[in-house]
Amino acid sequence: MAVAVVLGVPALFLALFAYYPLAAIIGESWRDAPSVTAPFVEILAKPLVLRALGNSALQASLTALLVAVVGVPAGYILARYDFPARKLMRVFALVPFFLPSIVVVVAFVSLYGEGGFLGRWLAPARSLSEGLSGILAVNLFFNLPLVMVLTATSLEETDAEQLEAAALLGGSRWLHLRRFVWPQARSGVLAGALIAFVYAFLGYTVPLIVGGATNRTVEVEIFSRFYTYNDFAGAAALALVQLLVLAGLAAAFLRWLILHRPSGLAIRYPPPRKRLWAEASRTESVVVTAGLLLVFGFLFLPIGALGASAFLETDTGALSIRSFQILFSPATEEVLYVTTFQVILNTLFFACLTALLVVTLGILGAWGMRRLGPRGRWGADALLFIPLAISPITIAMGLYLAWAGRSSLGLAVWPLMLLAHVLVAFPLVVRTLVSSLDRVPEDAVEAAQTLGSHAPDRLFRVELPLIRRGLMLAAAVGFATSLGEFAANNLLYPIARPYTTMTVAIYRLLVTPEMSSDKPLREAAAAASLLLILLSAAVFFLLTRLPAAREARHGRKA
């Protein structure tokens, strides 16, 4: 009974703002259709649409392949070699994962672009910031860290004695890799490659800015049908096609995960690491060092370039804070129609509200799910996680069609943006909170029960305080998601100018033609990107470090 009430709130939320909008999309695509299949036949007959589907599939497959080919050796190095600053590198390897996509695009342009630090001197380097190769480079940037760390983690979950036994039994290095390393790494690599595939298939920001007219993905095509041509029916039909492709993939992946559950053998000794130069041979050390430099150079040089370009004048090369002056000048306001301060305020407003809302809904969802039986939990899992397969563009379009647009229910635009952010962050936040709650010892909850404590009292006094870290992480995820959200904001931009956020502002600054040569807007875009990075880093640090620091002050263990 109590469980029904608790789960009812997030369920109602999803029903109103995820499933009803989805129904609105379906309704839109069939509005004037003569038959059930007609809208699909019609949309799939368009050469541009077919091309977009082909582009999405191509970019997704190449990204997945590239990520696996680069990520597996990199993960192997992280797992099996010891070198200075290894742990630090491993933590920092996750940073790109939390960066807003548009910021990374700006970073790549400022390093490899025509006027970039490398691209200016080295013409071939420009391919990393434009066209298909540029898209693949940025996709690799985003997904490499994940595959690398997943591979390293699954390799570390091998017992050292197993490795020793294998060594004693002899066999070539190739046999060792094929029979030992690959089976261990397989699940991590495939999970990472699939995430990269979905990421690239749903690609929006990167193909929109880097790809040019020939590399438009499905997501970009939906966007332009909706935004530029107001072809709502076509956009809706295409969104459904995309959703079906992704749902099929997700189902296949879940099936595979269930079939290939890793064995539960206990790890007594983690496998040893070879110290570079000392224990590894010289050739081995040279190769590994070169690989490390390449990977971390690839991950961190663009961010460095972004930082540098915010403080260097493009034309003179002089050190200055001109970019920030431009960012807060009337010239920028002319482009954005709102002041930059307003943009920052908007961004923080959405991010704070998203964090608050998504954590509240997430707690209710996670807490309720824990009290369901295995079957109920499976169902709730599916219901709560379907939004994960809905792309941000689809979410924003559905919200618009259902709650604004032709609907008489007419919500203002800022709640639509907020809801879109919450929906994008929701699946990950619930997952984070469910796994935190699963780690709360059952007997602590039982103890509270025998002490006369009822459910709500228990939640606030035992369970939530015990998952403080998980709560903070969930809030950080919600905050960062909203901060970096671009696709949904950009789709709603025509009706949401007063609510412009940082990501959209950066995009406007990038695509608006320079009005006068003494006010280079690209510099302002770099400055805004740097601000956004610092903002998300500060909040992430505060939310994830504060509880740890507080506990350290109490002199207590984790």
Residue identified by tokens 């060092």 is 289
CB 528 within 8 A of CB 483: no
287 binds another protein (CB under 8 A): no
Chosen residue from 153, 289, 325, 453 binding another protein by CB under 8 A: 453
Give the up-direction half-sphere exposure of residue 41: CA atoms within 13 A in the CB hemisphere: 6
239 binds another protein (CB under 8 A): no
556 binds another protein (CB under 8 A): yes
461 binds another protein (CB under 8 A): yes
Instruction: Estimate the share of the chain in helix, then strand, then coil, as percent rounded to the nearest 5.
Output: 75, 0, 20
Q: With CB under 8 A, what is the number of residues at the site for another protein?
A: 22
Stretch that binds another protein, among 88-96, 163-171, 195-203, 455-463 (CB under 8 A): 455-463
Buried b (16+ CB within 10 A) or exposed e, 503-538: bbbbbbbbeeeeeeeebbbbbbbbbbbbbbbebbee
Strand partners of residue 81: 274
Task: Report residue 327 as tokens.
Answer: 């960012």
Q: Which helix (H) or strand (E) holds 275?
A: strand 274-275
User: From the CB of 91, what's the least distance to another protein, in Å?
Assistant: 26
Q: Closer to another protein at the Cβ: 165 or 546? A: 546
Q: Closer to another protein at the Cβ: 431 or 458? A: 458
Give the up-direction half-sphere exposure of residue 209: CA atoms within 13 A in the CB hemisphere: 27
171 binds another protein (CB under 8 A): no
User: From the CB of 75, what's the least distance to another protein, in Å?
Assistant: 35
Q: Closer to another protein at the Cβ: 153 or 453? A: 453
Chosen residue from 247, 444, 511, 546 binding another protein by CB under 8 A: 444
Residue 353, φ and ψ in degrees, nearest 5: -65, -40
Buried b (16+ CB within 10 A) or exposed e, 284-297: ebeebbebbeebee
122 binds another protein (CB under 8 A): no
Chosen residue from 270, 465, 515, 518 binding another protein by CB under 8 A: 465
Q: Closer to another protein at the Cβ: 126 or 458? A: 458
> What is the length of the chain?
558
457 binds another protein (CB under 8 A): yes
User: From the CB of 477, what's the least distance to another protein, in Å?
Assistant: 22
Q: Which residues contact 217 (CB under 8 A, 6 or more apart)?
A: 52, 55, 56, 59, 201, 202, 203, 204, 207, 211
Chosen residue from 3, 348, 466, 542 binding another protein by CB under 8 A: 466
Chosen residue from 451, 534, 538, 546 binding another protein by CB under 8 A: 451
User: From the CB of 548, what's the least distance to another protein, in Å?
Assistant: 14
Chosen residue from 447, 546, 548, 552 binding another protein by CB under 8 A: 447
452 binds another protein (CB under 8 A): yes
Q: Which helix (H) or strand (E) holds 81?
A: strand 81-82
Q: Closer to another protein at the Cβ: 89 or 455? A: 455
Q: Which residues contact 263 (CB under 8 A, 6 or more apart)?
A: none
Q: Closer to another protein at the Cβ: 320 or 449? A: 449
CB 152 within 8 A of CB 90: yes
Residue identified by tokens 């970009």 is 220
What CA–CA distance (Å, rounded) separates 206 from 139? Answer: 8
Chosen residue from 412, 449, 460, 515 binding another protein by CB under 8 A: 449
446 binds another protein (CB under 8 A): yes
450 binds another protein (CB under 8 A): yes
What CA–CA distance (Å, rounded) separates 520 from 523? Answer: 6
438 binds another protein (CB under 8 A): no
DSSP codes, 452-521: T--HHHHIIIIIHHHTHHHHHHHHHHHHHHHHH--HHHHHTGGG-GGG--HHHHHHHHHHSPPSSTTS-H
557 binds another protein (CB under 8 A): yes
406 binds another protein (CB under 8 A): no
58 binds another protein (CB under 8 A): no
Q: Closer to another protein at the Cβ: 41 or 546? A: 546
CB 185 within 8 A of CB 151: yes
Residue identified by tokens 């998601």 is 481
Stretch that binds another protein, among 139-147, 257-265, 381-389, 436-444 (CB under 8 A): 436-444
Q: Which amino acid is residue 542, in one-letter code? A: L
248 binds another protein (CB under 8 A): no
5 binds another protein (CB under 8 A): no
517 binds another protein (CB under 8 A): no
454 binds another protein (CB under 8 A): yes
User: From the CB of 555, what's the least distance to another protein, in Å?
Assistant: 7
Q: What residue ranges bind another protein (CB under 8 A)?
A: 441, 443-444, 446-454, 457, 461-462, 465-466, 468, 554-557
